[in-house]
Every structure is written in structure tokens, then in C-alpha cells.
Structure 1
């Protein structure tokens, strides 16, 4: 895919010198003990604020019977959140020098996502995207600044790569102006054009030079963000159940939803972390497909929480939708999550058709649970938990690859 790449043994930036500025040079791929930094964890937490806003609006639209419009808005806004997060994550994996300017520019990106989060409600309800657009532009301009710093410290193919990133990201922001100037009927077309163009920027920029992202660091960053998103789903569902119990004394109707939702989230966590994926990330082709696919993992994980809220609202009589629609709000994102994790993670570690079929078959059965009425969420949760159990049993019987232990359970 590329004709040259960053050195596998490039030394890490000198972090021993105090001061506001350091050269932004590439970090080594073989750097030992590379873990997420406190700034990266803070960055993730602030981004989940925006995801929570998008999930809450999705829940309201589905509960009011406007699922199509709500899903369209959710897909667009979630893309802005996810793409800004992912671009920063891969950049930081290769170039984080942890100086004062890097921290300040990262905090500017955090400010941008908070501006975006503040505009989510107006984007959903009134189709006014000004705050969402402004927050996104703030984040993207901050990233451009980081790439220009990297270009200044680089030379040759690496410098060209960094400048391509900066120019590509900048040009895309011009295209996103269509969300403000075009009529409402044309905004979906703006997204359909600009989202693929944004995702083409890394492919274009790294044609001749591959950034020195750290596979273990990247897998940890994506895993931590998955945990935070699943945690947000647990929080949203807990608040919904509490409200239903306090206002309607409907514990008997809500208990199957609560138990089933908890089983779904527990299984989602287990399945995602069942295999150590960093060993699979060996090239840009593999890593790009893996990273881009996480749009579906993150968005479906967050949508599970919104769906559980919808199911609670319907159970206590506050939602203007059928039991079938409320069940689908949980089962469909759950099935999408299971299938996507299988495609990106699990299938690479399976031996034999039996292991390969566990998650796809479970996803299909979860979809069929949609038609079970008030028991749909509970049965879907039980099926997801059974998928984990079956995976563990297959592993202990020795059908999994040697040396992987229970890590290849599902």
C-alpha cells in the first residue's frame, strides 16, 4: 500500500526536558509500555458527553414515532463525533509529544466537541446545524494545527504526508459549509458526499508514507472508548428504569428490560475484549478497515442505551410506539454490534465453522427476538450471554487456537 513508512525503531520524543515546546517528531512503533495518557482519557470522557446528547435525542425521536428522521440525524451527528475522535487518536499515537502546546491544542478540540454537544438538540429538532458545524470546525482546525507542527519537524515524504493531512482536512471543512447554506432537503446529500471525502483524506495522505502509530496503544484507546460508550448505555438505561419505577410503580414490567439490558451490555463488553486485537493491526490496510468499522461498533453500542430507554418508555405507557418498535430499538443495534465485532475482531481468531457461526447466528436470533413483545429484551440478553458461554465451552474443549486460552471464547 505504501512505498515507505516510519521507522520501526524511531526513538520517542525527549520527555525529560521541561518546557512549553518540543519538536513534534514521530514516535516509535516498538516503544515499550505505551499506554493511554490522562489527557487522552479526559478527551474520551468529554467526547462521550456529545454521544450522550445524540443518544438522548435519538431516544426521544424513536419514542415519538419518528425513528427514520431520528436515525438519519443520529448517523450524521455521530459521524462528526466519531471522526474527530478517531483522527486525534491516530495522530496522537504517532506524534504525541506531550508538550504544553500539544495539551492546549487538545483542550481546544475538547472545547469544540462541547460546542458540538450543545448544538445536538437544535440539529435534531429544528435542523439547525450551526453549533454542530462550528464545534466540528473548531476540532478540525485544531487538528490541522497539530499536523502543521508535525510537518515543520519532518522532512521528505513524512513532511509531504503531514501537509497532505492538513490541506485535506482544511478543504473538507469548506465542503461542510453546505450544511449551513443549502436548503434542508440537500443536507443529507452534503453528508453523503463529505463523509466519504473525509475518510479518503488518510488514504490520500499516507500513500507514500505511513505514520508510526502504535498498535498496542491504538487497540487500547479504541477499547477504552468502547468501555466508556457501553458505560453511557448502562447509565442511560438506569436513569430510565429509575424514572419508570418512581413515576409509575411498574417494576414488574421494567424488570425484564433491566435484566435483559444488563446482560446485553455485559455480553457486549465480554465479546469485544475476548481477543487481543493489536497483533492483527500490522498494516494501514488492516488498520484502516478496523478503525473505520468502529463507527458501527461505537454508534450501535450507544444506540443500545437509547433503545433501552425507549423500551422503558413504552413499557410505562409514555412512548407513542408499539411494543414491536420498542423491541426493535434494542434488538437491531444489539445485532449490529455483534455482527460488527465478529467482522472486525472475532473471525480472525476462529477455528472451524462452529466457532465462526456463534456470533452471526446469535445476531440473527436477537433480531427474531423483536417479535417477542415485552420479553424481547430479556430473551435477547439471555441469547447474548449464551453466546459468551458457548464460546467459553468451545475454548475449554480445545477447539480454539493454542495459547489463546479463554481470550478466544467468542
Structure 2
């Protein structure tokens, strides 16, 4: 298991990586379902907190494998089998999401530990094979083992201390790559990483469309066609706009240093989570318009406008940059995020938010006309 060339030409996602993403999005979908039910039933605090905690487990396991694979993907039998074990763990997590939203995290933790211990096996194999990266690989393995022992013990922590303990263990997890990479940087491939993140963004967007479509289908079956046509169009405009805005700027241009790469990689937690939450928010809007939700108009609107605003701010910080030389774009993203939040208090929040997103896309197109992004 030798480190791969960081400048390897034509490096693309493998079929195994695509299967990995597809199975992980099952867990993402279950997390979105739990958030939808929590919001619709007016259990907002518990629903949002459970969603953020479960989504951390999904995102962190996905992200760690993605960066490891970029550096050490050998695509041989042991590598494939270990990756399939991780996929199985993700499906266990998906199966336990509904229990997690009821306060029982045992199944989610079990699936998460399976995924992470399989990752330990990958790092130990890399440590044995690649002398240069051995200190880094051993640090990764040690950090993951310590964190997993902590997660198992976390299940026995009293309820009142579970959230602080979760934050501590989360910090241990996110600090491990920072500590490990200081020994010897891994050979991740910038274009490959950007493609992997882009593909997962598309898959999460697809899950958002699927969940929203199912909500509209059920409402239409109950005879609410006229009330939902404009809402469906507005939701689709938002999804299409977010796709456009994310892929307008090549992500690999931001992966220039270790610090920038960590910031970019970690920051995608907000991008992925906001997209998954958007699907739940649209479902809540359908419930509200069909008089089946148990929350008011403002919380219903916030369930959509907050995820959209967070997505815009995250893409602005990670892909565009506040100091972008194209000032209409540099200023347009945060202004659009503020306007989207302001739409919460308008007569038709999702419709107005869709208009803001579409106008931002138009601004980006006009501002960059004749000025293609330079590739490196």
C-alpha cells in the first residue's frame, strides 16, 4: 500500500468509491427523515440537535475514508474488503438513526465504531507498507482507537453530561488529522478530492430532491395539487441554483496548503448538512401547506431559509472567498444569504428565497462572462 502520486493524471473516482457514497447517502436520508419529523412535530430543539450529532458520524467517517483513499487506494482484495466493511457499518448507522432521534444512540455508535475500526486496519496496513508515511499512519490509527474507546464509554455517560462529552470526543476526532499530518503530509490528489466532494454534494442534492418529491407525491394523492404547484417550482429553483453556485468555482484551486485543505474539508460539514436539512425543510413546508404540520409559519420558513443561507455562506467562504477579485460575487453571496433569511418574514418565504437564489446565479453568470476561472 504505497502512497499514490499527487500529480497522477486522469485520477477519477472509482466504482468502489461511488458505491461507498451511494450507501452513505442512505444514512443521510434517514437523518433528514428524523429532522423532518422532529420539526413537523414541533420538537425543534431535540430534532436539530439529534440531526447534527448523527450527521457528524456520517460525515466524519465519509471524509476520513475519502482522504485516505486519495492517498492510498490500491484497489486490491484487502483494500476492497475493508472498504466494504465500512459500507456495512454505514448501513448499521442508517438503521439506528430513528433510535438516535429518540435518544438511543447505541446502534449508531455501533455502526460508527465498525467503520472507524476498519479505517484503523487501513492505516496500519499503510504504516507497514509506506515507510515515509509510517509516523502519520500510526498517529491516525492511535487517534481513531482512542476516540472509538471514548464513544463506547459515551453510551454509559449520564444524560446530563452526554452533550459535553460528545463535544469533547468530536474535538478528539477532528484534531487527529491535524496532529497526524504534522508528522508527514499524506499524498492526497487535489483534483480527486474536489471530484469526490462534488460527487457527494450531487448525491445529497439528489436525496433532497427525492425526499421533497415523495412529500409532494403524498400531498397530491390527498388532493392538494393546486396549493403545491408553485411551491414545487420554487423548491426546484432553489436546488438547481445551489447546484450551479457550488460548481461554478473549481474546488481544487482551494487545496493549496494543509491548513487550507483542512479548512475546506472540514467546512463541507455545513454544506452537506445544510443540503440534507433543506430536503427536510421543504417537506415541512409541504406539511404546513397541507395543514398537517404542528408548527407555525415562521418556524416552517426557517426550516428552509436557514439551510439555504448556511449553504450560501459556506460556499462563499470555501469556494469564492471574501477577497475574490470579482467584487459582485464576493459581495453577492453574503448579501444573498441575508436576503434569504429576511425572506422568512415575507408572505411566501420559499418563493422569495428561490428568487434570491436565482438572482445570485444570474449575478455570477454576468460577473464571470468572458472571464473563465484559471485552471492549475
> Normalized against structure 2, the TM-score is what?
0.97
Q: Structure 1 residue 223 and structure 2 residue 198: aligned? A: yes
Aligned to 1:12: none
Separation in 1, partners of 2:349, 2:325: 31
Deviation of 1:348 after TM superposition, in Å, equals 6.8
- Matches of 2:24 and 2:373 in 1, distance apart? 33
**Deviations, residues 62-113 of structure 1 (Å, cap 9, x unaligned):** 0000111101001100000000000000000000000011000000000001
1:150 is the counterpart of 2:108 = no
Match of 1:102 in 2: 79
Correspondence for 2:108:
132
Q: CA offset at residue 208 of structure 1?
A: 2.4
1:389 corresponds to which of 362, 370, 373: 362
* CA apart distance, 1:134: 0.3
Deviation at 1:260, TM superposition (A): 1.2
Alignment partner, residue 351 of structure 2: 378
- The runs of at least 4 aligned residues of structure 1 exceeding 6 Å deviation read none
Q: Which of structures 1 and 2 has the bigger CA Rg?
A: 1
1:336 maps onto 2:305 in alignment: no
1:288 corresponds to = 262
Within 5 Å, give how 1:162-241 maps onto structure 2.
162-241=137-216
**Distance in 1, Cα, partners of 2:236 & 2:323:** 26
> How far 1:255 moved relative to its partner?
1.9
Unaligned runs of 5+ in 1: 1-23
Q: Deviations over 1:26-62 (max 9, x none)?
A: 0000101000000000000000000000000000000
Indicate if the aligned counterparts of 1:55 and 1:74 stay in contact, CA closer than 8 A. yes
Alpha-carbon RMSD across the aligned residues, in angstroms, is 1.4
Matches of 1:239 and 1:187, distance apart in 2: 35
Paired residues, number: 375
Stretches of structure 2 that go unaligned for 5 or more consecutive residues are none
Distance 1:58 1:239 in 2: 15
The aligned counterpart of 1:10 is none
Answer yes or no: is the 8 Å Cα contact 1:275–1:349 preserved in 2. no
1:81 paired with 2:54, answer no
Higher deviation after alignment, 321-330 or 171-180: 171-180
SS of structure 1 residue aligned to 2:292 = coil
Is contact 1:113–1:139 with CA below 8 Å preserved after alignment?
yes
